[in-house]
Amino acid sequence: MGTTRRLVVIGGVAAGMSAASKARRTDPEMEIVVYEKSGFVSYGACGLPYYVQGIIEDHNTLVARTPEQFARQGIQVHLHHEVTEIDPESRRVQVRDLGAGREFGVEYDRLVLTTGGDAARPPFPGIDRKGVFTLRRVEDGIALRRFIEENEPKRAVIVGGGYIGMEMAEAFRSRGLEVTVVEMLPQLVPNLDAEMAVLVREELERNGVQVLLEHRVEEIGGDERVEAVVASGEEVPADLVLVAVGVRPNTALARQAGIALGPTGAVAVDDHQRTNVEGVFAAGDVAEARHIVTGKPVYIPLGTTANKQGRVAGENAAGGDAVFHGVAGTAVAKVFDLEVARTGLTERQAREEGFEPLSTTVKAASQAHYYPGGGPLHVRLVFQKDGRLLGAQMVGKGAAKRIDVVAAALQAGWGIRDLQRLDLSYAPPFAPVWDPILVAANVAEKAIR
């Protein structure tokens, strides 16, 4: 391949830098240029709650590789550069240098779109008041931690009961704040079934967090700075508000360029991460993925998916033939002393997808009962009458890595009886002789006989 071939990557976090790195390994001669709007690339956004909490002292430790390190690999990274337009016909992008205030055009042979997702900001009256935050990028974490250290707020309200909200409840409590979580749905963590979500709520309340379910935010009140959140007629005092109601794909550039969106609202891609526009690939939180259980497009923005899709997009943009095989939506979060994990479909999701699911939930010991430091682990398996495995949820000690067993089973197309036959490890400090996964599979097997 000649040196005249140029790959332009728009966005420099997980998917973008994975794409650039894999493209470089695939084609050592290709010119690779990355444009990133923010001041950081290649960072672990999932570590931001722990930076705000203070467990991680320096935000720079979240950065895996710097622009200078990428430059030594032959990848040009331009920070504070925003791509404002893509012209697929001329294969050209328009770039704005946010520092210098100038604009210029750049031609490309291949383009990888990794503009990511933005933290959702519903149009609540008062959402722009001082003291209201979202947490998505390094700059968000820096601003939030600085606000806490400089203003010493006493009361925090978290709007949204998903994973970020749960992790930040612990972060705020560890800093001594009174915390209230406001959620419009009848349960926390909407990608769990209700009986598992109850365990999360109980853990929050054990740690002094007030939880208000079925409360819809009407206003964020105050004068110059936030003073309260009004939800379903109830006023909750607040010195700090974190809005954590999900992520929306940043598709403005895609729409402008005529790149097709899928049914989820994210960019539609095939299993090679190709879009409908010749020479343009997309990956990460801007793109859809195929769910391995349903076979349908889904939007599940996770760092793991972004890195894998980016790797596939980068290889193919450089002339390779890589395939992305889909996702199960496997995720885990730490909520105080609980590990909260899930993969595949919940029972509710399975019904919505047209399955006729069964489920079973067991409570088992995470370690041998006589070994100190163990605790209960709740395991819920979702499956069909014929034994096909559809998903799992786990809440308690030892969930974080056990969920990966079920994720692997889903990828392999296994059923309940396959889980029963697993030869799982046993030692008192790590697991009982009957692992909780085996206990759950044995109970589930009775329903499919």
* Catalytic residue list: 46
CA 430 – CA 41 distance, rounded (Å): 37
Contacts of 410 (CB under 8 A, 6+ apart): 292, 293, 328, 343, 344, 389, 391
**What six digits make up the tokens of 169?**
């409840």
CA 307 – CA 323 distance, rounded (Å): 13
Contacts of 89 (CB under 8 A, 6+ apart): none
Nearest to 93 by CA among 307, 254, 270, 250: 254
CA 107 – CA 89 distance, rounded (Å): 11
CA 219 – CA 212 distance, rounded (Å): 15
**What six digits make up the tokens of 189?**
């963590």
**What six digits make up the tokens of 432?**
């009982």
Strands (E), 239-311: 240-243, 247-249, 280-282, 289-290, 297-298
Question: Exposure of 201 by Cβ count < 10 A (0-12 exposed, 13-18 middle, 19+ buried)?
Answer: buried
Q: What would the DSSP string read from start to end of 320-386?
A: -------B---EEEEETTEEEEEEE--HHHHHHTT---EEEEEEEESS-TTSTT--EEEEEEEE-TT
Backbone φ and ψ for 308, nearest 5 degrees, come out as -70, -45
In the block, tokens 């936030």 appear at 226
Q: What order of strands is seen across the sheet that includes strand 209-213?
A: 132-133, 240-243, 155-159, 178-183, 209-213
- Mapped onto helix, strand or coil, the DSSP state of residue 213 is strand
Question: Exposure of 449 by Cβ count < 10 A (0-12 exposed, 13-18 middle, 19+ buried)?
Answer: exposed
- Mapped onto helix, strand or coil, the DSSP state of residue 401 is helix
CA 96 – CA 119 distance, rounded (Å): 23
